[in-house]
Structure 1
Amino acid sequence: MLFPDLQILLLILLRTGGFVAAAPLFSSRGVPMALKVLLTVILSLSIYAFSFTGVVLPPLTDDLYLLYVLREILMGLTMGFVVQIVYSAVLMAGQLVDFQIGFSISAVYNPMSGITQAIMGRLYSMTALVLIFVTDAHHLILGAFYKSFEVLPLGVGFSVTIGTGWLLKTFSVFFAIAFQIAVPVLLVLLMTDLVMGLVSRTIPSLNVLMLGMPLKTLIGLVFSMMGLPVLMSSLFKVIGDMSVYLELWIQRIS
């Protein structure tokens, strides 16, 4: 077996590495792998220095220590996934607007997020990422992650069933939030479709198909710019919920 201090540090590294690999603000593909590894090591050393200096794990066999290793990897990945669920509300809102405004056809692979996004989707996601760091929300998220070592110490069991059910419920909540973020622009575009349908019935000679798409794009862009204050307030709410829901998940499974 490894030395006791190294055992503890390795478990902290695994939980931290899983979190960094899954959390949206750290897992971006635009962040170099060397920087991710450096961040994982720095966070792990700080957690060990302030919380685990002098702590000794009970004697462990190789098989039992392997279970500890798997548990910490799963714990870190799940906590990162909780933050990702909250952030996905912004991504889904952008995709809904893109589909309705007609930008989905211009969707391309976004190397930063690792998914295919169109214009509004990239705008929403990049704005949210910037706001995370501008509002210091990343400090709150890291604070909640640090707290997980107090609520869920190394080697302590947790309820997988309760955690999974809570994740599914949270995903449905933030799917509804994604629709709420996108609904102002969606309603305007829906009204545009209704008006164009009435115009086509009134003036049959008018080519609505040729006129409708550019008009929807123009109206969608104009109202998206007009609705920026509403969008920003919605994004602030979603960003603030990241650390809150991470703490709720930690408390739920403890």
Structure 2
Amino acid sequence: MNLELVRAQLEALGPDAVAVALCSARLLPVAFLCPLLGGQATPMTVRLGLVLSLSLFLRVEGGIGLATPVTSALALGGWVLRELLYGVSVGLVAALPFDAARMGGRFIDLLRGTSAEASLPWAGSRESASGEGLYHLLVGLAMTGAVAPWIFGSLIRGFAVVKLGAFVPSEAAAMHVVTLAGGALATGLAVGAPMAAATLAVDCFLALASRAAPQMNLQELGAPLRILGGGVVLWLGIGLLCERLLAGVLATDGALSLLGTLGR
């Protein structure tokens, strides 16, 4: 009698377990890719706990579930793969503004001729100091302002736009993600554009000065002037850079909505 009761309870929990598993399959890539949901710097246990908590919330409070019951393990595997693919797309789109900040910082350090590896060779780090600084600064601004709830709301609303197991990979959705990736790359280059102008100005000044006074060895001043001048330009323009990057984060809501529309 007890075994029959347990079996009946497990069968009753079957749809709930499937819905939670599919929600977790969609949210797991987002938690690994988007820094607002953890990112790569967050411990694994924290990310998994966050994904499970959100999945349970979506099932219990949001009523998210499958329109049709699961008929076989093969069908369930197909739905899981669809949710994983859609989650990867959502995670990439949500993480693009932060990747743009990191790319812009690396471009800045490349132009200045500085990096963590060049200035601290014994540290064994190959990360860009400006890239990591802009990345974490943007994450902090997004988490302390009204941007993070906006992105969280977009992720939650995505379950109402694209039902569980309803994502259909299409060329339009793939091209939308590729276009957004190109826009993020352009944003990173735009962030480093003022530094490129400052570096070219320094090189032009040194070239003219060397032509006017060939007896003076001014080539050794190139690297220090680029580093110091680039640091001044970065310090003066950090506010404008943050506004440009935050605008990209705010545009994530519309990008996710369009992705969901193309993926239905």
**Fold-level match, TM-score > 0.5?**
yes
2:26 and 2:190 map into 1 onto residues whose CA distance is 34
Deviation, structure 1 residue 235: 2.4
Shift of 1:108: 8.0
28 and 209 in structure 1: CA distance in 2 versus 1, 3 angstrom threshold: farther
Partners of 2:173 and 2:259 within 8 A in 1: yes
Structure 2, unpaired ranges of 5+: 1-10
- Whether the 8 Å CA contact 1:148–1:250 is kept in 2: the answer is yes
Equivalent residue number for residue 72 of structure 1? 83
Letter matched to residue 217 of structure 1? I
1:62 aligns with 2:73: yes
Task: Supply the distance in 1 between the matched residues of 2:70 and 2:50 (Cα, whole angstroms).
Answer: 30
User: Which deviates more, 187-196 or 157-166?
Assistant: 157-166
Tell me whether 1:106 sits opposite 2:118 in the alignment: yes
Unmatched 5+ stretches in structure 1: 110-114
1:235 to 245, 249, 252: 245
Q: Is 155-164 or 9-18 further displaced after alignment?
A: 155-164
Contact 1:132/1:138 (<8 A) preserved: yes
Letter in 1 for 2:101: V
Identity %: 23
Superposed, which structure 2 residues align to 1:157-172 within 5 Å? 157-172=167-182
Whether the 8 Å CA contact 2:112–2:230 is kept in 1: the answer is: yes
Task: Tell me which structure has the larger Cα radius of gyration.
Answer: 2
Bigger drift between 228-237 and 72-81 goes to 228-237
Match of 2:7 in 1: none
User: Alpha-carbon deviation of 1:53?
Assistant: 6.3
1:178-221 per-residue CA deviation (whole Å, 9 max, x = no partner) reads 22222122212211111111111112222233111111111111
Structure 1: distance between partners of 2:70 and 2:54: 26
Residues 1:31 and 2:42 are matched in the alignment: yes
Per the alignment, do residues 69 and 16 of structure 1 end up closer, same or farther by CA in structure 2, a change over 3 Å counting? same
**Cα drift, residue 18 of structure 1:** 2.2
Alignment partner, residue 152 of structure 1: 162
TM-score by length of 1: 0.89
Distance 1:32 1:185, change over 3 A: same
- Cα RMSD of the aligned pairs, angstroms, is 2.3
Q: What residue is the counterpart of 1:112 in the other structure? A: none
> What is the CA-CA distance between 1:59 and the residue it aligns to?
4.0
- Asked if structure 2 preserves the Cα contact closer than 8 Å seen for 1:20 and 1:36, the reply is yes
Give the Cα separation in 1 of the matches to 2:167 and 2:214: 69
